[in-house]
Amino acid sequence: MIANYGYKDGSGEYYISMNTDKCDGCGDCVTACPAGVLEMIVNDYDEKVAAVTDAHRKKIKYSCAPCKPVQGRPVLPCIAACQPQVIQHSW
C-alpha cells in the first residue's frame, strides 16, 4: 500500500509517502526522526508498518522543517535510516 500522510494547503503539498509493502517493520526510521514524527502501527490489514503519527499529520510542513533548511539541505535522517527505501517526501 502507498500510504500518503500529510496534506495540501494553499502554500503547497506536504506528503510523506510510505510504501508499506516494502516496510519490514524494523522501526529504524522512528528512532532516526529527531521530531518524533514517525511511529510503528498495526494497520487495518494487521501489518506492522511505519506511519506518521496522528499528532504530526496536519503539520508535517512545520514538524519536518528543522531537517529542511533553506540552504544546504542534507539527506533526511528518516530516509537515510530506511534500508528498504520505504519513505519519500513530496517537498
Partner 1 sequence: MITAGIDMGAKTTKAVILRDGNVIARALTFTGFDQKEAAEKALADALAQAALNRSDVARTFATGVGRQQASFANGSMTEMAADTKGSLLLNNKLRTVIDVGAEEGRAMKCTAEGKVTDFAVNEKCAAGAGSFVEAMSRALELPLEKMGEMSLRSKNAVAMNAQCTVFAESEVVSLVHAKTPKEDIVRALHDAIANRIVSMARRVGVEESVGLVGGVGYNIGFVDALRRCLEVESVWVPEQPEYVGAIGAAVAAAEAA
Partner 2 sequence: MAQEFWRWKEYNWRDPEESWNKAKMLTAGVDVGSVSTQAAVMADGQLCAFASMRTGSDSPDSARKAMDWALRETGLTLDRIRYVIGTGYGRVNVPFAHRTITEIACHARGANFMYGPNVRTVLDMGGQDCKAIRCDEKGKVSAFLMNDKCAAGTGRGMEVFADLLSVPLEQIGDLSYEVDQEPQPVSSTCVVFAKTEAVGLLRKGWPKNNVLAAYCSAMAHRVYTLLERLGVEGDFGITGGIAKNSGVVKRLEKELNLKALTPRYDPQIAGAVGAALFAHTLAQKEATA
Closer of 3 and 78 to partner 2 (Cβ): 3
Residue 59 binds partner 1, judged by CB under 8 A: yes
Closer of 44 and 75 to partner 2 (Cβ): 44
E-assigned strand segments in 1-91: 2-9, 12-19, 38-42, 48-52, 87-89
Residue 11 binds partner 1, judged by CB under 8 A: yes
Residue 5 CB, nearest distance to partner 1 (Å)? 14
Which residues, including other chains, have CB under 8 Å from residue 13's CB and lie 6 or more apart? 6, 7, 90, 91
Distance, CA of 54 to CA of 5 (rounded, Å): 9
| Residue ranges in contact with partner 1 by CB under 8 A | 9-11, 58-59, 62-63, 65-66, 68-71
